[in-house]
Amino acid sequence: MLDLRAARLAGPEVELDIRNTFGTVTVLVPAGIQLDVEGTAPFASQVIEPPSRPPPPGAPRLRIRTSGPGGTLYVRAPDSD
């Protein structure tokens, strides 16, 4: 699990590259960001639960790129319950 809820993003756009080899990766993202998730694989699945409220103008962007043969990626915001 990667918990980014208290992270301070280094700039207006941050890229996170995740290589998954048939495992489960969970990323907890902070509220108030723009979120993009890219990438697919033959045996991969993604469960994306973005923040329920739209980000404010000028909010930082977190771009998650996935690669690898498969696995499950969970991306959750704290208010997506």
Classify residue 70: in a domain, yes or no. Answer: yes
- Both structure tokens of 72: 């499950």
Residue 13's domain comprises: 2-76
Identify any residues that bridge with 48 across adjacent strands, giving them in sequence order: 75
Number of domains in the chain: 1
User: pLDDT of the chain along its 81 residues, tens only?
Assistant: 999 999 888 889 999 999 999 999 999 998 889 999 999 888 999 999 988 889 999 999 999 999 999 999 999 998 754
81 in any annotated domain: no
Please tell me the distance from the alpha carbon of residue 12 to that of residue 73, in angstroms, as a whole number: 24
User: Model's pTM, two decimal places?
Assistant: 0.87
Asked if residue 67 belongs to a domain, the reply is yes
Residue 51 in domain: yes
